[in-house]
Homo-oligomer: A and B are copies of this chain.
Amino acid sequence: MKEMGIGLLGFGTVGAAVVAGLQEHADLIARRVGVRLVIRKIADLDTERDRGVAVDPSIMTTDAAAVVNSPDIDIVVELMGGVGAAREMVKMALELRKPVVTANKALLASHGPELYHLAAEGCTDLCFGGAVGGGIPIVRMLREGMTANRVDSIYGILNGTCNYILTRMENEWLLFDDVLAAAQAAGYAEAEPSLDIDGHDTAHKAAILASLMLGQPVTSDRVYVEGIRGLSELDIRYALEMGYRIKMLAIIKLIDAKLAVRVHPTLIPLGHLLAQVGGVFNAVVLEGDMVGQSLFYGRGAGGDPTAGTVLADMADAARNLVYGSVRRVMPSMENEEDAISYRDIADVVSRYYLRASLLDKPGVLARITKVLGDRAISIASVMQIESSAGAHVPVVIVTHKAREGDMNDALRDIDALDVVGAPTVRLRIEDLGETS
């Protein structure tokens, strides 16, 4: 059987899982692909460490560029991470017209336009299924499964660490800081957790999904981001009492030809399937005009799930080399002729959950509702929580749809009132209806 030479850059968790998966399923994959994928070289700064997988030491090197340039390497698999050396290596491979498979979300979210363009110029494949959703084939779905659908909305739980923290806070009635510490101890959160809990990782993935939805590159600097750091367990509880669960959500919507991509903790209806996605799992809801809502659920991270997706991409790239069908799918990704029009976050419309801390005396609530009313923000429900602690009581207000800009103005005015004891907590509600 014909062989295809693979050069692997980066021999970490996913890299080792790719090697192990290929070893375990060598015949299965060869039969399915029609060609044998052979890892001929592996580059990593550490060529010694035991990754729990047997590798011929002679294929290990610290010289990534030599791997990319080697004539026996047909496909370059970039699993180094980061946007420095990884970017240089991916560029080098694409310039050599070698197909690249990568799971590097940060790289695509920041330098996607450059790389998509290079792949188009070199007429070669750039596959990145492993960059979003780990084992969930969401990139493949958007690239190939939705060919006939105009996708106008995507909602995603894309970060396992955030979802794990929120799930434990709710189930065990714990504080954010305590769950974060436990997650760090258990290896579900990094020692430096900002990339996850402040929403940047989700933003990277959201940018990639938005790019696929539009067929044009969207970079993560166009994504509005708020993290879950310091989210109060009170809001998790009050949301539940009103029939919502708080999830860290990426929301991508094209409305009136304007794109808005945002990432923030979001109240979603308990009755929606997405609200049932717990722990480290990820899920993505697509809304296509022909198919309606679809949901894809699975393990969004981890060596084996991501390696499975990376291997499927390697199979695609190999098939395209064998059949001469390079760039068979989605050649329009580099299409920049139509500039994307973005909706400013101030113009995004949604419903809001507010938790105000109000002085417990007559007429106070009326002052709050007047401020909201003055901005034409109407109230859907109010819940005053009985409290014996201090002079201020929490009041939860759920609004009907309002412009974010108007809500910001109203909150500024509300928090300036002398009856307000602490900054008002503001969270967004996403009803996830098929027409919302």
Interface residue ranges, A against B (CB under 8 Å): 17, 21-22, 25, 28-29, 31-34, 135-137, 140-141, 144-150, 215, 273, 276-277, 288, 290-299, 304-305, 307-309, 311-312, 315-316, 319-320, 323-325, 328-332, 335
Min distance, Cβ A206 to any Cβ of chain B, angstroms: 21
Pairs A–B under 8 Å by Cβ, sample size 28: A17-B290, A25-B148, A25-B149, A29-B148, A32-B147, A135-B294, A136-B294, A137-B145, A140-B140, A140-B141, A144-B312, A146-B308, A146-B312, A148-B311, A149-B308, A273-B276, A290-B307, A290-B311, A292-B298, A292-B299, A294-B296, A319-B329, A320-B328, A323-B323, A323-B328, A324-B325, A325-B325, A325-B328
Complexed CA–CA distance, A144 and B316 (Å) = 8
Which of B29, B32, B299 is the one whose CB lies under 8 Å from A291? B299
Complexed CA–CA distance, A305 and B145 (Å) = 12
A150:B25 contact, CB within 8 angstroms:
yes
Chain B residue with Cβ nearest A137: B145
Which of B273, B295, B315, B332 is the one whose CB lies under 8 Å from A147? B315
B323:A305 contact, CB within 8 angstroms:
no
A295:B295 contact, CB within 8 angstroms:
yes
Known A31-B332, A291-B308; contact A315-B273, beta-carbon cutoff 8 A: no
Residues of B within 8 A of A136 (CB): 294
Chain B residue with Cβ nearest A138: B145
Residues of B within 8 A of A32 (CB): 147, 215, 330, 332
Min distance, Cβ A79 to any Cβ of chain B, angstroms: 15
A296:B299 contact, CB within 8 angstroms:
no
For the complex with contacts A29-B147, A137-B294, 17 further pairs of A-B residues with Cβ separation under 8 Å are A25-B148, A28-B150, A29-B148, A31-B215, A31-B332, A32-B215, A32-B332, A140-B145, A146-B308, A148-B307, A273-B276, A273-B277, A290-B305, A291-B299, A294-B297, A295-B298, A323-B328
A148:B21 contact, CB within 8 angstroms:
yes
Complexed CA–CA distance, A32 and B335 (Å) = 11
Complexed CA–CA distance, A29 and B309 (Å) = 26
Chain B residue with Cβ nearest A31: B332
Among A147, A273, A324, find the residue whose CB has the most chain B CB atoms closer than 10 A.
Answer: A147
B304:A290 contact, CB within 8 angstroms:
yes
Min distance, Cβ A367 to any Cβ of chain B, angstroms: 42
Complexed CA–CA distance, A141 and B137 (Å) = 8
Complexed CA–CA distance, A315 and B288 (Å) = 17
Going nearest first, the 7 A-B pairs with the smallest beta carbon separation are A148-B311, A325-B325, A294-B298, A290-B308, A135-B291, A323-B325, A137-B145
Complexed CA–CA distance, A305 and B294 (Å) = 10
Chain B residue with Cβ nearest A149: B308
Complexed CA–CA distance, A258 and B328 (Å) = 37
Residues of B within 8 A of A332 (CB): 31-32
Complexed CA–CA distance, A299 and B25 (Å) = 33
Chain B residue with Cβ nearest A313: B147
Complexed CA–CA distance, A12 and B384 (Å) = 56
Complexed CA–CA distance, A319 and B147 (Å) = 12
Which of B31, B135, B293, B308 is the one whose CB lies under 8 Å from A298? B293
Complexed CA–CA distance, A277 and B273 (Å) = 8
Residues of B within 8 A of A323 (CB): 323-325, 328
Residues of B within 8 A of A215 (CB): 31-32
Residues of B within 8 A of A144 (CB): 140, 144, 312, 316
Complexed CA–CA distance, A22 and B293 (Å) = 20
Min distance, Cβ A302 to any Cβ of chain B, angstroms: 9
